[in-house]
Amino acid sequence: MNEAFHTAARPPLISIALISGAALAYEVLLMRLFSILQWHHFAYMIISLALLGYGVSGTFLCFLQKRLVQRFTASFIANIVLFAVSTVVCFQVAQQISFNAEEVLWNPPQLLRLFAIYLLLALPFFFVANALALALIRFSDRMSRIYAVDLIGAGLGSLLIVVLTFVLDPLSALVVLGMMMMASVAIAAWELKAASRVQLTAAAMLGAVVMSWAGAHMHLAISPYKGLSQALRIAGTKVVDTRSSPLGFLSVLESEQVPLRHAPGLSINATVEPPPQVAIFTDADNMTVVTEDRADRDAFAYLDYTTSALPYHLRDPDHVLILGAGGGADIHQARYHGAPRITAVELNPQLVDIVRDRYREFANDILGREGVELHVAEARGFVARSRDRYDLVQLALLDSFAASSAGLYALNESYLYTVDALQVYLRHLAPGGYLSITRWIKLPPRDTLKLFATAVEALQRENEPHPGRRLILIRSWQTSTLLIKNGEFEDREIAALKRFAAERAFDVAWYPGIGDSEVNRYNVLRQPYYFLAASALLGPRRDAFYRDYKYEIRPTYDDRPHFFHFFKWRVFPEIMALRARGGMPLLEIGYLILAATLIKAIIASAVLIVLPLTYLRRRHSSDTRSGVSAARVLWYFFAVGLGFLFVEIAFIQKFVLLLHHPVYAVSVTLASFLIFAGIGSAVTQRTLGAGGHARTARYAIAGIALTAAAYTWLLGPLLAYLVAWPMPVKVIVSAVVIAPLAYCMGMPFPLGLSRLSAAAPHLIPWAWGVNGCASVISAVLATLCAIHLGFSAVIALAVLLYISAAISFPRVIAVSKAPGCR
């Protein structure tokens, strides 16, 4: 079919790599932007569904491929132009649509706004997918190479965006991406030797200038209900500094007139208030504070009136480890109680910069003063590598109450609160030392109970026959603090506990020897839920309690690290009946959003897949009968699409445990997967021996299945062995480990496409669309499966999917081959 064209015979590989990279970078950046504007889980839903633009493109091209491929140069370039323009314009329009998730219950038309946001954000992905699919169809003899360049470009894009979000604020990064796309318009014009390439280059340059001008006038339209927006309503507050990184967008807020007085969990018996403070918001929410320190110890007395002060009243720890230094509140608390040696760990280097440099004087150099040793690192990884033993390990309250209590973290993996993590902390306690974990109190109780269950399990795994003797749980109306001791609690400590709690009106929920007359005294709940739960979780009725409790509070493990997932379908009807009667907050909304995203994606995909099929059936009725079975094509591309992301997502999680850093782990793993898959794809062209597509695909899939299965067993010990090694070594090992798996994963898709181009070329856009839809469903489904079954199960499912794909590899039914076959 190439004879019809007399334009450039070489595919525009550079521009393909550029737009693939930009599309992936754009996706990650949108996630960042909408996490700032709205909340993370909504960002997740919006971007997941926007990616259906790929599926829409497949459908669109089923109808128009012929016409567009005939004018390939023009249509390829036009789609890049539209992609470039829409990246900035669609975002700008979408962010102006004021959508308030909380109002949906009362005001269903809000959903229309949400729908409008999906549509707008799907447009850029639609255009870029058009450009890529057109290239695949136009240069069908070099499909593997094009797909390879697409994957490698995406892999580089995933690294590029990490750099971009580190050096630029998210809006500028958006504009830079748009300008980069404008550049690829010009590059595409030259690569394709377009007649008007000079004019196009000039136009692209002009476009880039307009974009940078427009970018300078753009502002983030942050939801008025986010913490930062709310704080800015108060007279005399202003944002004095912002920092951006993939870890979050930090806004530093000073308040001139009204003190911030951030002291969560303060006892109702407290008569003291916090000194002046400066607030740091992450993604316009999640406030942490830097507190003024005028070397007046008494100013920090308020920190003695929170539940997290408990361990200091049971003994005087010499060496305290604070996980999550934030603005320094826990360091102040340790210093107030006279801890001579404090090691503090903070993940975000920009937060550290703000506290240590910008507010050095204000905070009296809290992070750098004598006796305080600061490490910028991920908390769990730090402990795992540490050779020290601590008298007290404090796991700080890092997330905000609002987000936590609304169940917004349900989708997030947290490796800080798993059984495996607690075991790591426990092994780093000095004899008699404490692990202290403070959590927000929620009504009805959820995470405190899950944490307690996780602690009991961790102690049992450490061969403790009586976990109850090593646990103390106290609560205020706002926070709970759980103490796990390296050793059994003694009478002296229990007496100190009782004094501490009584003076501050904190309730005891568990200590060894607790009686039911001592509980639920100061902050009275309808029932002494915490005590009842603690007793049940330590006794023989534990499983019955897990089953009967209306929230999911079973312990979390590294393989299923969704600590914030509390939702049970069983309770869903009950809560839905109460939703308009104040029951809505009982719903764990994060999980439901995930489920809703999946349902929407499935419905949209069904439409996008079935719609063009009926059309294609009518137009190519003879071809489909004599070419390949549509059902096989459908399942093959669907299974390959699902499988690819299942493997990718599951292994990203495995490597998070090795690299111990959410950003680095994800970008290293993702980039390795995409780049090695790209290499695999590039090689398929050559490996196509006499056996043809089907055999190569079968070998590739056998390779995927065997490697993935082997890794499920081998990776754990390997990662454990590598934990203490330096980061660069770990990064290289990760890439090396991923390489063979990803290499094989890069093959099935281009092999399938290549087969189609020989047997039924009209199905190529459809297969492209099916794969696009599958990718969207896959990402959501993988998270749901991981929540319920664990990441190992996700890998097992992926292997099954790939095997089923091998079986359904599109076979040519009739001997007569479609035109265009080589």
Partner 1 sequence: MREHTAQERWRAARWIQALLPATLLACGIAAADANRYAQLRAAMLDAIRADYQDTALYIDKEHADPRVLAAMGRVPRHEFVAENLQARAYENRPLPIGHGQTISQPYIVAVMTDLLGVDADDRVLEVGTGSGYQAAVLAELVAQVYSLEIIEPLATRAEERLSRLGYANVTIRHGDGYYGWEQHAPFDAIVVTAAASHVPPPLIAQLKPGGRMVIPVGTRFLVQELLMVVKDAEGKVSTRQLLPVRFVPLTGGH
Residue 344 · residue 325 · CB < 8 Å? yes
Q: How many other CB atoms are found less than 10 A from the CB of residue 689?
A: 8
Instruction: Closer to partner 1 by CB, 172 or 405: give it.
Output: 405
Minimum CB distance to partner 1, residue 505 (Å):
7
Q: What CA–CA distance (Å, rounded) separates 585 from 406?
A: 6
301 binds partner 1 (CB under 8 A): no
Q: Which of 9, 240, 544, 732 binds partner 1 (CB under 8 A)?
A: 544
Question: Cα-flanking dihedrals φ and ψ of residue 237, to 5°?
Answer: -100, 145
Residue 586 CB, nearest approach to partner 1 (Å)? 6
- Binding string, residues 145-184; x marks residues near partner 1 by CB under 8 A: ----------------------------------------
Contact flag: residue 235 with partner 1 (CB under 8 A): yes
Contacts by 543-549 with C-beta closer than 8 Å and gap 24+? 546/453, 549/449
Q: Three-state SS for 286?
A: strand
SS3 592: helix
Exactly one of 229, 364, 626, 629 binds partner 1 (CB under 8 A); that residue is 229
Please report which residue ranges of 38-169 form alpha helices under DSSP H.
40-50, 53-70, 72-96, 110-138, 143-167
Q: State the minimum distance, in angstroms, from the CB of residue 36 to partner 1.
A: 16
What does the alpha-carbon distance between residue 534 and residue 450 come to, in Å, rounded to a whole number?
Answer: 10
Between 592 and 723, name the residue whose CB sits nearer to partner 1. 592
Contacts of 599 (CB under 8 A, 6+ apart): none
Asked whether position 519 contacts partner 1 by CB under 8 A, the answer is no
Is residue 576 within the footprint of partner 1 (CB under 8 A)?
A: no
Which stretch, 24-32, 184-192, 271-279, 593-601, contacts partner 1 (CB under 8 A)? 271-279
Smallest gap, in angstroms, from Cβ of residue 333 to partner 1?
A: 15
Distance CA 215, CA 540 (A): 62
Applying CB under 8 A, among 2, 195, 238, 273 the residue interacting with partner 1 is: 273
Q: Which stretch binds partner 1 (CB under 8 A): 367-375, 541-549, 632-640, 708-716?
A: 541-549
- How many angstroms from the chain centroid is the CA of residue 310? 34
Q: What is the dihedral of CA 65, 66, 68, 71, to 10 degrees?
A: 150
> Residue 51: helix, strand or coil by DSSP?
coil
Q: Which of residues 188-227 bind partner 1 (CB under 8 A)?
A: 224-225
Stretch that binds partner 1, among 245-253, 254-262, 741-749, 807-815 (CB under 8 A): 254-262
To partner 1, the closest distance from the beta carbon of 100 in angstroms equals: 7
Query: Is residue 264 a contact point for partner 1 (CB under 8 A)?
Result: yes
Q: Out of 268, 599, 631, 714, which residue is the one contacting partner 1 (CB under 8 A)?
A: 268
Contact between 494 and partner 1 by CB under 8 A: the answer reads: no
Please tell me the distance from the alpha carbon of residue 707 to that of residue 2, in angstroms, as a whole number: 39
Least CB distance to partner 1 at residue 549 (A)? 6
Place of tokens 């996980």: 323
The CA distance from 771 to 596, in Å, is 21
Q: Is 69 in the site for partner 1 (CB under 8 A)?
A: no
> Is 148 within 8 Å of 681 (Cβ atoms)?
yes
Please give the DSSP secondary-structure letter assigned to residue 560.
B
Q: Which of 6, 67, 219, 233 binds partner 1 (CB under 8 A)?
A: 233
The number of beta carbons lying within 10 Å of the beta carbon of residue 14 is: 15
Token pair, residue 326, equals 């934030």
Q: Which two tokens stand for residue 546?
A: 């897990």
Q: What is the CA radius of gyration of the chain?
A: 28
Q: Which is nearer to partner 1, 362 or 530 (CB)?
A: 530
Nearer to partner 1 by Cβ, of 198 and 268: the residue is 268
Buried b (16+ CB within 10 A) or exposed e, 61-77: bbeebeebbeebbebbb
Under 8 Å between Cβ of 666 and 767? no
Candidate list 212, 245, 405, 414; residue touching partner 1; CB under 8 A: 405
* Cβ-contact 129, 57 below 8 angstroms: yes
Residue 239 binds to partner 1 (criterion: CB under 8 A):
no
**89-118 binders of partner 1 (CB under 8 A):** 100, 102-103, 105-107
Query: Which one among 584, 592, 688, 694 touches partner 1, defined by CB under 8 A?
Result: 584
**In the bound complex, what is the minimum distance in angstroms from residue 407's beta carbon to partner 1?**
10
Pick the binder of partner 1 from 261, 360, 461, 817 (CB under 8 A).
261
Residues that bind partner 1 (CB under 8 A): 100, 102-103, 105-107, 224-225, 229-230, 233-235, 257-259, 261-266, 268-273, 402, 405-406, 441-445, 477-478, 505, 521-527, 529, 532-533, 536, 541, 544-545, 548-551, 574-575, 578, 580-586
